[in-house]
């Protein structure tokens, strides 16, 4: 209930009571003399409390409706099925494509809602905001033009049009925004600011509202501030159970370096966020976690997050040094790509901090020589590093329709050449859940090199990457190709995908 409705309630109550009082007064004053006095007495004794009572009731109703308003609004489960936005499509072209696909479906659905004679504006706004949250939008723009109202989302800095809303219903849409943010409906010619809370599947959000009068009506910008985000879960990324356990043990270390290698768009950052989420869950909220990023991808309330700005001379290395002065327990550095950051990171990993970062290298074994090329002392590198990981991203098979497929002769040859077992693998079919494609979401393929005493010696001796790789295999590392084939054997993806993303 908004402010106008509350005033109406109060006025209606007062009118009712005044009418009743005048009725009582007229009847009570019919008789003369003592009856008149009796009537007057009755008014004083009975009607006054009634009047006060009704004013009190109106106040209570007003306060109660305010309290109801203050509750976060839950977005009703939308009846439309939006395409899946996998946490692993976190960066690059894949994500942009997935977002566009999602907005297309959302736009079509909302256009259908808006095209009705009497559109359900409340439902429309709920679904619009739900779509904005799920597509990862930072802003929603509702901008009136001569022919219609353009509704657009800003996703990762790019403005994407969602639909054109019918001109004639524009005022009702703006009123809905005003009701949500408790702004006066009659104010049409002045800029207004407000906000409203929104409960979403990913936790609470605060929507900052800005309304600006324009020549075609009021224009609205809604800024979505995520006050609590749900970080991606480690277990959902594609670690086989045994590897997950081993990795989680490493995340419990008080100090050291954990470095993730992979190409752009291989989901490295997502792996790091999931790792930080796991650390926070297991160590508790008192663990201080700091990040230095470019750009900040998830806004996490309990992390101290710093954005580097290379153009203004604020680099990863400077950010890292500044963060170290605050002495956090765990540090995430977006990427190690220069000697200064590399050296500072190694120092951090040797002085009581667990440091997670990403680096451009072809394999887990290749990370060491990459850092030595950057001028890091092999001896320090060997003692500071706890583990290196390498990862690739493969399309996930739809678990609802996948089916066993006979091994093709080429695949058999490739498996034999890699010394891997043949056996049963799966292929795509296509069903309603995956829109006929046979694929759903993404799965990561991991290779993890835990630094053992033997590996430490090898790094120290500056041996070439392929020899470190060989040694790591003997020490129990499952290389990327074998790990990918295992994922395919489990039905998470296809052999063809594995060969495509891993090679070999
Ligand atoms: Zn399917």
Please identify every residue whose CB atom is under 5 Å from ligand 1, which is an ion.
398, 400-401, 431, 433-434
User: With 50 as the cut, is the pLDDT of residue 398 above it?
Assistant: yes
> How is residue 293 written in tokens?
């990023």
- C-alpha span between 245 and 269 (Å, rounded): 20
477: Cβ–Cβ under 8 A, 6 or more apart, which residues? 364, 447, 448, 449, 450
Angle between the N-to-C axes of helices 92-114 and 121-134, in degrees from 0 to 180, rounded to the nearest 10: 180
319: Cβ–Cβ under 8 A, 6 or more apart, which residues? 292, 306, 308, 333
- C-alpha span between 222 and 209 (Å, rounded): 5
Mean pLDDT check: name the lowest of 28-37, 402-411, 421-430. 28-37
Measured in whole angstroms, the distance separating CA 280 from the mean position of its chain's CA atoms is 17
- C-alpha span between 214 and 223 (Å, rounded): 19
User: With 70 as the cut, is the pLDDT of residue 72 above it?
Assistant: no
Mean pLDDT of 396-411: 94
Strands (DSSP E) contained in 316-421 are 330-333, 354-359, 385-397, 403-405
- State the pLDDT at residue 86: 58
> How is residue 175 written in tokens?
């009123």
Please give the distance, rounded to the nearest whole angstrom, from the Cα atom of residue 445 to the centre of ligand 1.
21
Please give the residue that has the higher pLDDT: either 65 or 401.
401
Residue with tokens 């409340």: 122
Please give the distance, rounded to the nearest whole angstrom, from the Cα atom of residue 106 to the centre of ligand 1.
21
- C-alpha span between 253 and 310 (Å, rounded): 31
Please give the distance, rounded to the nearest whole angstrom, from the Cα atom of residue 111 to the centre of ligand 1.
27
Please give the distance, rounded to the nearest whole angstrom, from the Cα atom of residue 50 to the centre of ligand 1.
67
- C-alpha span between 487 and 494 (Å, rounded): 8
Residue with tokens 């008014």: 43
Per residue in 76-132, pLDDT tens?
545 566 665 655 554 456 677 788 888 999 999 999 999 988 899 999 999 999 899
Please give the distance, rounded to the nearest whole angstrom, from the Cα atom of residue 81 to the centre of ligand 1.
14
Q: How far is CA 380 from CA 223, 354, 366, in A?
A: 46, 15, 17
b/e per residue 210-242 (b: at least 16 CB within 10 A): bbeeeeebbbbebebebeebebbebeebbbbee
Per residue in 261-317, pLDDT tens?
988 778 898 899 999 999 999 998 889 999 998 877 777 878 898 888 877 888 999
Question: Which DSSP category does 229 fall into?
Answer: -
Please give the distance, rounded to the nearest whole angstrom, from the Cα atom of residue 438 to the centre of ligand 1.
5
- C-alpha span between 440 and 411 (Å, rounded): 23
Please give the distance, rounded to the nearest whole angstrom, from the Cα atom of residue 491 to the centre of ligand 1.
13
Please give the distance, rounded to the nearest whole angstrom, from the Cα atom of residue 428 to the centre of ligand 1.
8
User: Which neighbouring-strand residues pair with 151?
Assistant: 142, 163
Per residue in 142-178, pLDDT tens?
999 999 999 999 887 678 999 999 999 999 999 999 9
User: Which neighbouring-strand residues pair with 154?
Assistant: 139, 159
CB 196 within 8 A of CB 208: no
Give which of 274, 269, 264 is closest to 239, Cα–Cα. 274
Count of CB atoms situated within 10 Å of the CB of 168: 9
Please give the distance, rounded to the nearest whole angstrom, from the Cα atom of residue 83 to the centre of ligand 1.
13
Please give the distance, rounded to the nearest whole angstrom, from the Cα atom of residue 461 to the centre of ligand 1.
51
Please give the distance, rounded to the nearest whole angstrom, from the Cα atom of residue 25 to the centre of ligand 1.
76
Please give the distance, rounded to the nearest whole angstrom, from the Cα atom of residue 442 to the centre of ligand 1.
14
Q: How far is CA 124 from CA 77, 131, 145, 177, 181, in A?
A: 13, 10, 19, 11, 16
Give which of 325, 328, 287, 332 is closest to 307, Cα–Cα. 332
Q: How far is CA 163 from CA 106, 113, 306, in A?
A: 9, 11, 35
Please give the distance, rounded to the nearest whole angstrom, from the Cα atom of residue 439 to the centre of ligand 1.
6
> How is residue 301 written in tokens?
């309330």
Q: What share of residues in the chain are helix, strand, coil (percent, to 5)?
A: 45, 25, 30
Please give the distance, rounded to the nearest whole angstrom, from the Cα atom of residue 96 to the centre of ligand 1.
22
Residue with tokens 């305010």: 66
Please give the distance, rounded to the nearest whole angstrom, from the Cα atom of residue 395 to the centre of ligand 1.
13
User: Which neighbouring-strand residues pair with 393?
Assistant: 444
Please give the distance, rounded to the nearest whole angstrom, from the Cα atom of residue 88 to the centre of ligand 1.
19
Mean pLDDT of the chain: 86
Please give the distance, rounded to the nearest whole angstrom, from the Cα atom of residue 423 to the centre of ligand 1.
23
User: Which neighbouring-strand residues pair with 161?
Assistant: 152
Mean pLDDT of 241-252: 96
User: With 90 as the cut, is the pLDDT of residue 428 above it?
Assistant: yes
33: Cβ–Cβ under 8 A, 6 or more apart, which residues? none
Q: Is 313 helix (H, G, I), strand (E, B) or coil?
A: coil
Please give the distance, rounded to the nearest whole angstrom, from the Cα atom of residue 441 to the centre of ligand 1.
11
Please give the distance, rounded to the nearest whole angstrom, from the Cα atom of residue 93 to the centre of ligand 1.
23
Please give the distance, rounded to the nearest whole angstrom, from the Cα atom of residue 403 to the centre of ligand 1.
10
Assigned fold of 92-226: Beta-Lactamase (3.30.450)
Please give the distance, rounded to the nearest whole angstrom, from the Cα atom of residue 92 to the centre of ligand 1.
25
Please determine, looking at this structure, whether the domain spanning 234-395+442-491 carries the CATH number 3.20.20.70: no
Please give the distance, rounded to the nearest whole angstrom, from the Cα atom of residue 492 to the centre of ligand 1.
12
User: With 90 as the cut, is the pLDDT of residue 488 above it?
Assistant: yes
Please give the distance, rounded to the nearest whole angstrom, from the Cα atom of residue 432 to the centre of ligand 1.
6
- State the pLDDT at residue 266: 84
Angle between the N-to-C axes of helices 121-134 and 170-180, in degrees from 0 to 180, rounded to the nearest 10: 70
CB 485 within 8 A of CB 504: no
Please give the distance, rounded to the nearest whole angstrom, from the Cα atom of residue 397 to the centre of ligand 1.
8
CB 82 within 8 A of CB 207: no
Helix and strand totals (H; E) in the chain: 17, 16
User: With 80 as the cut, is the pLDDT of residue 201 above it?
Assistant: no
Q: Is 476 helix (H, G, I), strand (E, B) or coil?
A: coil
């Amino acid at each position: 209930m908004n402010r106008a409705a509350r005033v109406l309630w109060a006025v209606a109550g007062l009118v009712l009571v005044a009418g009743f009082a005048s009725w009582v007064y007229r009847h009570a004053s019919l008789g003369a003399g003592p009856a008149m006095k009796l009537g007057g007495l009755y008014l004083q004794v009975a009607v006054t409390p009634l009047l006060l009572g009704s004013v009190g009731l109106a106040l209570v109703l007003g306060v109660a409706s305010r309290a109801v308003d203050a509750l976060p609004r839950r977005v009703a489960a939308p009846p439309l099925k939006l395409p899946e936005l996998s946490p692993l499509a976190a960066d690059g072209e894949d994500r942009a494509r997935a977002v566009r696909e999602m907005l297309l479906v959302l736009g079509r659905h909302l256009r259908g809602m808006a095209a009705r004679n009497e559109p359900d504006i409340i439902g429309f706004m709920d679904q619009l905001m739900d779509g904005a949250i799920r597509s990862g939008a930072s802003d929603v723009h509702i901008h009136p033009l001569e022919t219609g109202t353009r509704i657009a989302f800003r996703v990762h800095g790019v403005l994407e049009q969602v639909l054109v809303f019918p001109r004639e219903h524009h005022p009702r849409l703006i009123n809905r925004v005003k009701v949500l943010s408790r702004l006066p409906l009659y104010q049409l010619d002045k800029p207004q600011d407000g906000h409203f809370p929104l409960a979403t599947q990913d936790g609470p959000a605060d929507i900052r509202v800005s309304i600006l009068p324009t020549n075609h009506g009021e224009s609205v910008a809604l800024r979505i501030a995520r006050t609590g985000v749900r970080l991606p879960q480690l277990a959902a990324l594609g670690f086989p159970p045994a590897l997950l356990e081993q990795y989680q043990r490493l995340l419990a270390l008080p100090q050291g370096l954990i470095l993730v290698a992979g190409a752009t768009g291989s989901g490295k950052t997502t792996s790091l966020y999931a790792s930080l989420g796991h650390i926070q869950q297991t160590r508790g909220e008192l663990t201080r976690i700091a990040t230095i990023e470019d750009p900040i991808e998830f806004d996490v309330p309990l992390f101290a997050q710093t954005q580097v700005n290379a153009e203004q001379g604020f680099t990863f290395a400077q950010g890292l040094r500044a963060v170290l002065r605050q002495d956090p327990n765990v540090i995430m550095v977006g990427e190690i790509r220069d000697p200064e950051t590399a050296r500072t990171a190694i120092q951090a990993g040797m002085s009581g901090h667990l440091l997670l970062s990403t680096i451009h290298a072809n394999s887990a074994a290749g990370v060491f020589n990459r850092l030595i090329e950057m001028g890091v002392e092999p001896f320090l590198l060997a003692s500071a590093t706890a583990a290196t990981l390498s990862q690739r991203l493969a399309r996930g098979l739809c678990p609802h329709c996948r089916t066993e497929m006979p091994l093709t002769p080429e695949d058999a040859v490739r498996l034999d050449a890699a010394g891997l077992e043949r056996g049963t693998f799966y292929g795509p079919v296509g069903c309603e859940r995956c829109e006929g494609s046979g694929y759903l979401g993404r799965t990561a393929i991991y290779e993890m090199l835990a630094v053992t005493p033997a590996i430490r010696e090898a790094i120290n001796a500056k041996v070439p990457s392929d020899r470190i790789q060989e040694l790591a295999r003997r020490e129990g590392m499952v290389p990327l190709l074998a790990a990918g084939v295992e994922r395919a054997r489990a039905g998470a993806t296809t052999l063809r995908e594995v060969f495509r993303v891993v090679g070999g």
